[in-house]
Structure 1
């Protein structure tokens, strides 16, 4: 799944795709999923996905990279309602 996320962002260029992938994983993955991929880091991961996982393992939390990870406040409209 991390590779699929990374593939969706790769058009942004490597550095931005790494940040966007890390942001997405940080925001939407269950802690158990994160623990599992941290334990398996590097196994069959694309360069973008691997770099994103390594960034998260260091405790780095990137700022939001896409509107999909920005949440509405209580009565706000016009932004993503994902999650």
Structure 2
């Protein structure tokens, strides 16, 4: 998957959980674990290690929990 699409998808998921009370990062991470295949999660983790540019703060925090 292209990095742009991956960032867009992660940010969309984060936007949903950002509307709920409390820290969204653990819920975003749980969603990614439940619904993203291992290759997608690995790509996201690698992207974050390279800087994670474009990810929202909550999406970035969630990716760091993976």
Normalised to the residue count of structure 2, the TM-score between the two structures is: 0.76
Q: State how 1:1-16 maps to structure 2 within 5 Å.
A: 1-13=9-21, 15=23
Aligned pair count reads: 55
Q: Which of the two has higher C-alpha Rg? A: 1
RMSD of aligned alpha carbons: 1.2
Q: Mark the runs of 5 or more structure 2 residues left unpaired by the alignment.
A: 1-8
Flag the structure with more relative contact order, 1 or 2, with Cα contacts below 8 A and sequence separation at least 6: 2
Give the number of the structure whose residues are more often helix, by fraction: 2
Normalised to the residue count of structure 1, the TM-score between the two structures is: 0.61
Q: Which residue, out of 23, 26, 34, partners 1:19?
A: 26
Change (3 A) 1:50 1:14: farther
